[in-house]
Every structure is written in C-alpha cells, then in structure tokens.
Chain A
Amino acid sequence: MQLITCPWCGPREETEFHYGGAATVPYPADPAALGDDAWARFVFVRPNPKGPATEQWSHAAGCRRWFTAVRDTRTHRFLATVDIQPEVPR
C-alpha cells in the first residue's frame, strides 16, 4: 500500500485516491473540427509509456481535489504530484 502525496493534504494511503487517466489528453478545443479518426483518438487512445507518465489523480476519499502526478510505470513510484493550475475558462 503506497503513500501518495496529495498536494493539499500530504502523504496519504493509496486507497484514498482515484486514478483519472492520462493528464496529457485535454478535451479538444473544437471537437466539431476534428475528423472521425482524430476524434476517435481523443476518445479511445491513451499514452502508455514505460517510464514516467503524467496522470490525473483525485484525492477522492480526502480533500477531493484533482491533481497532476508523474508516476514511473515501471516502479509505480510517484516522481511528483502537483496542483492543477487554474486557467481562465473559455
């Protein structure tokens, strides 16, 4: 049972966290402009690196904040966990 460092709460047990997939696949700015193939890639295709992967996690049974984590898929070690920076809405 790993400890994962929530940027807000500090190290907590992994069972408190929820994995939310790759952090590197943003919702397209204009889905209507994408062809079927490009859209299908957004919906279904995700990076699967051997090594550091940038992922979204949420501290689901804690502060309920989502954050970005860099995790080495070979060792499961978390290399970094950082707060998602606020952006201006579209």
Chain B
Amino acid sequence: MSRVDGYGWAIDRSRTVSVTVNGRAYTGHPGDTLASVLFAHDVVALGTSVKYRRPRGIAGSWTEDPTGLVQIEEPFPEPMLQATAVEITDGLVARGVNGQGRLAQVPDHARYDRLHTHCDVLVVGAGPAGLLAARDAARAGADVVLVDDRPTPGGALTGTERIEGRPAREFVADTVAELATHPGVTHRQRTTAFGHYDDGFVLALERRTDHLRDAPTTRSRQRVHRIRAARIVIATGAIERPFVFDDDDRPGILLASAARDLLHRHGVLAGHDVVVATTDDSAYAAALDLAGAGARVRVLDARAAVPTTWAARCADAGVPVEAGTTVHGTRGTERITAVVVGDDRAEVPCDLLLVSGGRNPAVHLFSHVGGPLAYDEARGAFVPGGELDGVEVVGAASGAVDPLEEMPPLVLWRTDGDPARQFVDLARDATVADVARAVGAGMTHLEHVKRYTTIGTGHDQGKTSGMLAAGITAELLGRPVAGLGTTTFRPPYTPVAFAALAGRARGELFDPVRTTAIHDRHVRLGAEFEDVGQWRRPRHYPRPGEDMTAAVLRECAAVRGGVGILDGSTLGKIDVQGPDAEVLLDQLYTNLMSTLKVGRVRYGVMCGHDGMVVDDGTVLRLAPDRYLITTTTGNAAAVLDRMEEWIQTEWPGLRVRLTSVTDHWSVFAVVGPRSRAVVGRVFPDVDVSNEAFGFMTWLDTTLDGVPVRLARISFSGELAYEVSVASEYAPALWDRLLAAGAPEGITPYGTETMHVLRAEKGYPIIGQDTDGTVSPHDLGLGWAVSKKKTDFVGKRSFARPANHDAARKQLVSLLPTDATTKLPEGSQIVSFCDAGALPPPPVPMLGHVTSSYHSAELGRPFALALVRAGRERVGEVVHVPVGTTLVPARIGGSVLVDPEGARRDG
C-alpha cells in the first residue's frame, strides 16, 4: 500500500469503498478516483495502447491524462472513461481499455436533462483565480454562476499554499462559504464547461449521481447546462505537459503535478523511488513534497543552471539535483524500472518517473469562440493573444507566470533518441516518426499535421500533446512555432455522452408526434399507423389475418363499391382573410381564385419562381374577403411560411392575414357511391342531391346545434363528402357517421387506400410523384394554369423554351404486361432493350416509377411514372429493371379508373 498518513484532504478515511479493476478487488475511500485507488495499491499498468498494443498506465491525475482509459462494466457499461476522472463507488467494476471501448448492449435507463440559465457573470474554474473573480462579482451584486469540473473547489491548489494570509484550503472554504451567502450566486462542482459559443453562450455538463452510493432514482444522472452570460471569466488554469523521449509511454511515468495532486488530494504516494525530470521550477515542489512523504527522490533539471532557492531546499531535504541533465529513455515492461539519463546514457533505477515540460494555459474555452491565440516564445505555449468582447481570461489560463518561479523555463520538446519510440500523443499512439512523416509529406500547418497524424484527436483532445506536436513540427521544419499557424480548439473540452446531449429528447420525446382528435378511435379499430411529417396517420385497418395488401384491397373495394370513411384531419388548413385575400391567392396559385364564387371550391396548384410544382390543395371561398385553403399534410408549415413571406416581404401592406387552422378543424371524407345515403341520414336537413349540392361546392349546416361544414370534394373520383367540424366535436361526429353508415357497411380506410384510389385516377401526390423538376403541365394539370392572369408565381418560367421541350418527363401510368408484377417505386425505366437484355452502359433512362400499387378495381398492379415524352408514348412498351429481370410495362394515360368521370356525382 502506498497510502500515506497526514495527506489526502479529499478522501474520507472513515469509510471504505470496494471496486474491481481488471478482475481484481481493491479498496479505497470516498473521494478517491479509480486512478488514486490503483496508485494506492502500487498498480500503474491498466490496458494496452490503441495501435501498438503497448502497456499503458496512468500519466496524469485529471482529464489531461492521455492514456489511462477504462471501460466501466458496472453499474452501467460505459467505454473510454479516464481512470483519473472516475470517482469510485461501491461495486464499481472496470477494466483497462485494450485499444477500444465497448458500448452498452442494454438500454440506458438513467435520466439526462438540461437546464437553461441566464446570468451576469459566468466564472469557469473554481481555482484561486476563479474563486476571487466570482467573489468580486458577487460582492458587486451580480448574478454569478461558478462552475468547476472537479469534485471539490480549489483547482490546482494542493493545500500547501497560503492565500490572503490563510492556508489555501481555509481560503477556499471561506470563499465558498461567502459565495453561498450571496443569493445571486450559483456554484456547481462536477460541472465541466465543455463548449463556448457566440454571445456568451456556454454549455456545461454536470455529473450528478455517479459519485453517490444511493442516488435518488428521480435525479438525472447528468445535466447539460445551457448558460447565457453577459460576461464570462475563464479561470481554467494551466495543464502541465511532459516532453518527449524514447519509451515515454511506459506505465509509471507521470506528470509531476499529477503526483503532487495524488499525494495531497488522495494521500497516495505514486512511487517510492522517484526521478523527477524537469525543464522548469514547478516540479521542485513535487519533488520536495514526495520526498517529505517518504519517497527517495532525485531531480534532473534540463537547464544549465538550477534555481538556487529550490536547490537549497532540495539539499536540505536530501534530494539530489543535477543541472543540465535529462532523460533519454526508460527501461521496464509493465512498470518503469529505470531511466536512461544524461549524455553517457546511464541507467538510474526508479519505480516512478515524474516529468515536467512546462505548462499549457487552458485556453480552450477562449479559442472555442474565436479568441486569438499568440505563441509565447519564452514559455513555449499558446496564450490568449487578443481581446474578446465580454470574455476575460484570468490566472494561469491567461499565461500568467507563477509568482514562485525563480528561473525561466527551458522550452524543450524532445530529447535525442529514436523517433519511432518517442510518443507524442499517447492517446493516438502517434510518435515523432509520424510527425516527421507528415512534415515529409509536405504538411507545414499545424492543422494539417494534426489531421495527418491524428495527434490531438483522442479523448483528451491533445491537452498535453498538442503543444508538443507544434514544437516538434517546428523543429523538424526548422521554423519558429509562431509561423506554423495555431491549432483551433473546438468543443467539447472533455468527452460528452450523446445521452447527455439528447437529454429527455429520446424515444417518444425525440420528435413531437401529432395525432388527430379521434386517434383513440383509430387505435380501437386496429389501425396500422404511418408517420406523415409529424402526424401519425392510420395507414390501413387490417382485420384478423389480413396483411397490408389484403386490407388495402378490401378497403379500396369497399370505397368504390359502397362507402368508406377517411380521417383527413391532417390536411393543412389556412384561413386567409382580408380584402386583398384574392390578390394574394391569385399571385400564389397558378389558377384564378378571385373569380371563385362564395360557396364554391377550386383545386389549386402552387409553383415556385422556377415554375415547378411545390404544393396543391383545395380552395374554398367562404366570403368575398375570406378563403379556406388546404395544403398537403407534410407541407402545411412550408406553405404558410411561403405565404407569410410574400405578404411581409414582397407585398407588405397587402390587407390580408393568415391563420393556421389545421388543428382546429377535423375533416372526415365519406367516400363512395353510398356516401350520399350516409351523409343524408346524418344531416336530414341538408339536401344532398347532386342538383342541390353539386360537385366542388360547400355549405354550412349544424348537427345538434354544432356548426358543421360539408363539401363535395373527391380525391378518389367517387361521389364524396368532406365533413368538417371543430375538433372538440370530432369524436362525436365520427361516431355518428360510422353508426349511420353501418347499414351500408361503411369502411374506415387509411392513407395507403387513399393513395391507391387517387393513383387510379392519376391524381399526383406532390413530393411523391414530383421532385421539384416537375411543372403543372408535366403532371397534366395545364388546365389548372390560368391563361388570363397577367402574372402569378411561376408564370414567367413557363415561357422558357425548356418548359416546352417535347421530351420533358410527364406523368403517365404503367401497366406491367404480365399483370402480376408490382413495380418497386423508384425503379428506373429503360427504353432500348434487345431480346430482354439491357443495352451496354450507360443505359438510357426514360424516367422512373413514382407510385405503384395493387388495384382492386383493375384486378392487377399498376404504377404511375414520370416518363420522357410520356404522353406521346402512350401504348408503347418500356422495360423496368426489377432485381435481375426486366419487366415489360405498357405506358397508358394517367387516369386508369373511370376516365370519363362518371362516378363523381354518384
């Protein structure tokens, strides 16, 4: 055991926690991390590296560690976590990652959540600089949010320092206590600000339950805080980096600051026979602290001279210091046994090598949002190099020099050795040889070297390795680091689980589901549903033993032979009101709407400026200054947006207002030759005869005092009545219609049947039979394009020569000549076919199948297709590749059922 008494302010020694790592049981204390528990048991090796399968241990003490990755098995499988950042709880089971982690194969039932916060000042980092900034802001009366990623505040303070005349831990406790007295202050530990975006927007991940033994099940496991702050103080400290030498990835090599952290925080002595290799003053404190805790320590300072005060303290403590000496390699297998030192390559036995190669200010959050970085030549680090509105960088993150520093550091990236054994990025197994290859391939910018070598793209995002890669690249190129460009830091600062980002937007809550007012009726009727936009619509209503084909054939036959009923409530509905309503509609529809008489209905087509169809629907004129228009279900919002854009941007001042009433009105289509009897029975006061209530007219009536609108609109070619009612009365009306239609065997039908019925009539579905390159004329809807209007959206494009090309694709029907094959939608149509074989590629394409169904009425499958010069080719046989065969199909007119339109009026 390497637990030392008198240290470890973060752990609670009165309690014991048991964990299992790589199959072996270990005990630690609350406040320990997996890393500190392993070091306490003298375990340094953990797994193997991603590419070369070299043994890897733990090289840091917090999220800077590039190599100590674990797979958590219990309580819930999670891959690629840092042993240094996993707080232990009883029963935790982990193993070292061998190359790659493994995702959970079971659903994650934990809760994840998000919280929005607005504040005057956000302080990131609760080290001394952050605590002081938060305290200043709080005393000034600001709303302050203070977040810090570690379990406890204090940042890199070891507890040995003195601040404001008090021991550091006392200062931290006092300051935190004072902050708690300010009502405007929110202070969260275990909360990592991982992304900084424009205008003071920061995302932070709070870990709420993993460290608890018995977390309430109602508490979310993690929470993403979305913080918008008027001012942001970045107090994220600095991250120590190593330097590079042969076999620098061996377990038992640790950052000097990490060893110090483990000692003071967790009471763990990471090694007993310690070599400290440094290029600056900061490692001396680590050397002295470890020696004070009982380790045998020697210091190798790469600088020609040593700082005299530190050296004197080392002499007092019996710690030998050598100047101008450094490490060139290591020995050992699963743990370091010796370091190769100095020009004579002497081997010095040890069980721990501490490395300190300088400090990288944690400028990530400053850089995320575009803060410029500058290279500090003297310290070999990127520091904030300019101003950002509303952003302040304080403390070590700003590049401030430690006041205890006696002598400037030596900027050292690597020592002499074998480039292939000098690991720059332990997370990616990338060596100096890889950097040399990138430079040899012509990369001269850090961003290119990063992409070529993958350095800095691991879980740690190059916290320790990024600067080394820059320095080594500069050395290899013989250029100054400042001339290589800077690498830009991007979110996230530390890995964030997708589950946390998704929050509650999972499963049913991922996307809103819209259901109609009678959804429960559909469910009771056994409907199979399909998603249409956000709507959930009945696709068909299978009876026991029926598949979709059988159900749809039955429903189709029922409609064409008797009466069916469809819930059409999802159709987009826009109430258009105002004296200029007709002006607007004349401009947006291809046909004339101003001439539509009150009480009548007109089918309308909308095009884009390019003259291609974007939507279609019916238009009811309710009054001289009022229309109700319908849109396709999936296009309702887009059509409303388009209309709003017109009246607000192109023709502002037009006296017209638009209101979406899609949800307000429920619409049921009662369809089929027997529909008149059913509707007449429900509405005995209405004369439903064709003479009194003609096709494409509407009228208002009441049912038990409730206003109801009836319209003679048909999307199937059959006699049909659309019955509309305010949605709160929809269930009652649906029940009435079904009851009244019982003698006729009224059959509820779904969207699939609706599609078959409309396709049999050649009615296109915009977006299925069209693709943005199809004009009304291509669809055979030239009759719906006004020749009287001087202009409407799309009209000018119809005059383009390309719109009059006889070879344009046109909507036609296709009947497979075998009368049995249902052509797959999307199939290509080819022309020249020699003895059933495709011509050599490129095979000339004539078009494609847009809709394809089995028809009960025709007793065979049929399809709609867009075919080049289709209308001229009626009667021709073309071929459709289906799998490995070519299916012949005959082109026909687009209307296959009742081309004379005799059924429409019953």
Give the docked Cα–Cα distance between A27 and B793 (Å).
9
- CB B590 to nearest CB in A, in angstroms, measures 14
Tell yes or no: A18 within 8 A of B by CB: yes
In the bound complex, residues from chain B placing their C-beta under 8 Å from that of A42 are 609
- CB A58 to nearest CB in B, in angstroms, measures 7
Q: Is the CB of B791 within 8 A of A32?
A: yes
Selected from B650, B652, B655, B796, the residue in CB contact (under 8 A) with A34 is B796
From B370, which residue of chain A is reached at the shortest CB distance? A75
Pick the most buried of A56, A76, A85, A90: most chain B CB atoms within 10 A of its CB: A90
In the bound complex, residues from chain A placing their C-beta under 8 Å from that of B651 are 87, 89-90
Selected from A11, A30, A36, A66, the residue in CB contact (under 8 A) with B648 is A66
In the bound complex, residues from chain B placing their C-beta under 8 Å from that of A34 are 796
Give the docked Cα–Cα distance between A32 and B795 (Å).
8
Tell yes or no: B610 within 8 A of A by CB: yes
From B648, which residue of chain A is reached at the shortest CB distance? A66
Q: Is the CB of A88 within 8 A of B653?
A: yes
Tell whether A2 pairs with B199 under 8 Å between CB atoms, given A43-B609, A58-B645, A66-B644.
yes
Q: Is the CB of A64 within 8 A of B644?
A: yes
Q: Is the CB of A60 within 8 A of B653?
A: no
In the bound complex, residues from chain A placing their C-beta under 8 Å from that of B199 are 1-3, 11
Give the docked Cα–Cα distance between A28 and B653 (Å).
17
Give the docked Cα–Cα distance between A20 and B638 (Å).
13
In the bound complex, residues from chain B placing their C-beta under 8 Å from that of A1 are 197-199, 201
User: A1-32: contact bitstring with B at CB < 8 Å (1 yes, 0 no)?
Assistant: 11100000001000000101001001110111
Tell yes or no: B797 within 8 A of A by CB: yes
- CB B477 to nearest CB in A, in angstroms, measures 30
Give the docked Cα–Cα distance between A7 and B199 (Å).
18
- CB A46 to nearest CB in B, in angstroms, measures 12
- CB A24 to nearest CB in B, in angstroms, measures 12
User: A30-70: contact bitstring with B at CB < 8 Å (1 yes, 0 no)?
Assistant: 11101010010011000000000000101010001110000
Give the docked Cα–Cα distance between A86 and B649 (Å).
9
In the bound complex, residues from chain B placing their C-beta under 8 Å from that of A3 are 198-199, 228
Pick the most buried of A43, A58, A60, A88: most chain B CB atoms within 10 A of its CB: A43
In the bound complex, residues from chain B placing their C-beta under 8 Å from that of A65 are 648
Tell yes or no: B50 within 8 A of A by CB: no
Tell yes or no: A79 within 8 A of B by CB: no
User: B651-668: contact bitstring with A at CB < 8 Å (1 yes, 0 no)?
Assistant: 111110000000000000
In the bound complex, residues from chain B placing their C-beta under 8 Å from that of A31 are 791, 795-796
Tell yes or no: A84 within 8 A of B by CB: yes
- CB B857 to nearest CB in A, in angstroms, measures 42
In the bound complex, residues from chain B placing their C-beta under 8 Å from that of A87 are 651-653
In the bound complex, residues from chain A placing their C-beta under 8 Å from that of B641 are 18, 58, 60
Give the docked Cα–Cα distance between A90 and B655 (Å).
12
In the bound complex, residues from chain A placing their C-beta under 8 Å from that of B650 are 26-27
Give the docked Cα–Cα distance between A76 and B197 (Å).
13
Q: Is the CB of A84 within 8 A of B198?
A: no
Q: Is the CB of B645 within 8 A of A86?
A: no
Selected from B644, B652, B655, B796, the residue in CB contact (under 8 A) with A58 is B644
Q: Is the CB of A32 within 8 A of B796?
A: yes
From A36, which residue of chain B is reached at the shortest CB distance? B800
Tell yes or no: B580 within 8 A of A by CB: yes
Q: Is the CB of A32 within 8 A of B790?
A: yes
In the bound complex, residues from chain A placing their C-beta under 8 Å from that of B583 are 89
Give the docked Cα–Cα distance between A45 and B743 (Å).
61
Q: Is the CB of A84 within 8 A of B610?
A: no
Give the docked Cα–Cα distance between A11 and B118 (Å).
13
Q: Is the CB of B797 within 8 A of A89?
A: no
Give the docked Cα–Cα distance between A4 and B228 (Å).
13
Selected from A26, A27, A43, A76, the residue in CB contact (under 8 A) with B797 is A43
Give the docked Cα–Cα distance between A43 and B199 (Å).
35
Give the docked Cα–Cα distance between A56 and B796 (Å).
24
Give the docked Cα–Cα distance between A56 and B652 (Å).
13
From B800, which residue of chain A is reached at the shortest CB distance? A36
From A68, which residue of chain B is reached at the shortest CB distance? B649
Give the docked Cα–Cα distance between A39 and B801 (Å).
13
In the bound complex, residues from chain A placing their C-beta under 8 Å from that of B791 are 30-32
Q: Of residues 775 to 813 in B, which have CB atoms within 8 Å of A's CB atoms?
A: 790-791, 795-797, 799-801
Tell whether A86 pairs with B652 under 8 Å between CB atoms, given A1-B198, A32-B790, A39-B797.
yes
From B795, which residue of chain A is reached at the shortest CB distance? A31
In the bound complex, residues from chain B placing their C-beta under 8 Å from that of A58 are 641, 644-645, 648
- CB B31 to nearest CB in A, in angstroms, measures 36
Tell whether A20 pairs with B645 under 8 Å between CB atoms, given A42-B609, A85-B652.
yes
Q: Is the CB of A20 within 8 A of B580?
A: no
Q: Is the CB of A66 within 8 A of B800?
A: no
Q: Is the CB of B198 within 8 A of A2?
A: yes
Tell whether A89 pairs with B800 under 8 Å between CB atoms, given A2-B198, A18-B641, A26-B650.
no
Q: List the 9 shortest-distance A-B pairs measured between CB atoms, nearest first.
A: A31-B796, A66-B648, A3-B199, A2-B198, A86-B653, A89-B654, A1-B201, A86-B652, A43-B609
The 8 sampled A-B contact pairs (Cβ below 8 Å) are A32-B790, A32-B791, A58-B641, A65-B648, A84-B649, A84-B652, A88-B653, A89-B651
Chain B interface (Cβ < 8 Å from any Cβ of A)? 197-199, 201, 228, 580, 583, 609-610, 641, 644-645, 648-655, 790-791, 795-797, 799-801
